[in-house]
Amino acid sequence: MIRPAGGEDETTAMAQVTVFGGTGYLGREVVRQLAQAGTRRIRIAVRHPVPAGAAVGDDRIETVEADVTRPGSVRRALEGSDGAVNAVSLYLPTRTVGFEDIHVTGARNVASAAREVGAALVHVSGVGADAGSSQRYIRARGQGEQAVRAAHAGAVLVRPTVLFSAQGGLVEQVLRVLRRTRVFPLFGRGETRLQPVHRSDVARAIVELLGRNDVDECECGGPEVKPYRAFVEQIAAAAGIALHPLPVPFPAWHAVALLTERLPGAPLTRDQVALMRADKIAADGLTTLGIAPRSLDTALRGLSGTSPARG
């Protein structure tokens, strides 16, 4: 779905865009496509100082230090920008940083500062964000959307489903397990329905939506809706790896997560288990923007032969 905001349909050329989360999986592609689209200056807001001489390879791209939990640094990163993208993420809370810090407070900080400097904003959230959810992650994403709306009335919310590309996202997550173990433990019977979307298609939507005042939200999904298990089978087949799926009931996953989520690196959390319980299906925002979403198959071409087949 793409929800019109009731304004004029117009795209404004951006002179300077600041990308928060521009070093991340989606943010890197947003930066690449902003450059390709001719944006005159692109600022990647980074948490850690970039070593001197770390070449980005394009003199229109610069890095600036900012942490979304620190409003002053966010304001400085946005100085002089007419566009902003928030593609910051936190999947595993730490002792010092929780979901609310990044997805609610951080999102509000970016939205408030963007409004103050007069920058258009695309805020990346996720399909299923729900401020009333009992799950911490899903609730924080929903509350974050509300905070962004309250702080910046013109912000565009982009809600992707699970992302993929040839080298990353869903493809990488599945291959990592397939290459490590002979059995592939499924969440339940693998029946949760997903609609994976190519990272580049979402990045393109973000670039298109920056500065549009006729749209206030856009859900982004791929062309296929299938059970999770079917996507795992498709990726295994493309990589030439024999799949031995093992259905594991959700209560068992929940129990494992209870034990492991406090370990360093938290291999599994209850929030992740909860996310895998709910279907992730998007309304049709991409085609409304004139973007034909790519299928998973397009990213899997060339995968075959990269790993030895296993019995």
Ligand X SMILES: NC(=O)c1ccc[n+]([C@@H]2O[C@H](COP(=O)([O-])OP(=O)(O)OC[C@H]3O[C@@H](n4cnc5c(N)ncnc54)[C@H](OP(=O)(O)O)[C@@H]3O)[C@@H](O)[C@H]2O)c1
List interacting residues with ligand X (CB under 6 A): 20-21, 23-27, 46-48, 67-69, 87-90, 102, 106, 124, 126, 160, 162-163, 169
Tell me whether residue 39 or residue 161 sits nearer to ligand X (CB atom): 161
Q: Which position's Cβ is nearest ligand X?
A: 24
What is the rounded distance in angstroms from the CA atom of residue 253 to the CA atom of residue 248?
7
SS3 at position 211: coil
Query: Measured from the CB atom, is 110 or 303 closer to ligand X?
Result: 110
Q: How many CB atoms lie within 10 A of CB 298?
A: 14
* Alpha carbon distances (Å) from 169 to 89, 105, 198, 265: 14, 26, 9, 18
How many secondary structure helices (H) and strands (E) does the chain include?
12, 14
- Please list, residue by residue across 141-173, b when 16 or more beta carbons sit within 10 angstroms of its beta carbon and e when fewer do: bbbbbebbbebbebbbbbbbbbbbbeebbbbee
Question: What's the closest the beta carbon of residue 310 comes to ligand X, in angstroms?
Answer: 26
Tokens of 309: 């087949």
Give me the helix-helix angle, 107-117 and 71-78, nearest 10°. 40
Question: Shortest Cβ distance from residue 169 to ligand X (Å)?
Answer: 5
Q: What are 98's two structure tokens?
A: 């929780």
At closest approach, how far in Å is the CB of 311 from ligand X? Answer: 31
Pick between residue 119 and residue 163 the one whose CB is nearest to ligand X.
Answer: 163
Q: Are strands 184-187 and 245-248 parallel, antiparallel or unpaired?
A: parallel
CB 281, min distance to ligand X, A: 12
- Least distance between ligand X and beta carbon 69 (Å): 5
Query: CA distances (Å), 195 to each of 108, 159, 177, in order?
Result: 29, 12, 20
Non-local (6+) Cβ contacts of 308 within 8 A are: 240
| Cβ distance to ligand X smaller for residue 16 or 63 | 63
User: Shortest distance, CB of residue 165 to ligand X, whole angstroms?
Assistant: 10
Q: Quick one: 8 or 96, whose CB is closer to ligand X?
A: 96
- Two structure tokens written together for 57: 């390879």
Q: Is the four-CA dihedral 3, 215, 163, 266 of positive or negative sign?
A: negative
CB of 73 to ligand X, least distance (A): 8
Please, which residue, 97 or 289, has the CB nearer to ligand X?
97
* 68 vs 207, beta carbon nearer ligand X: 68
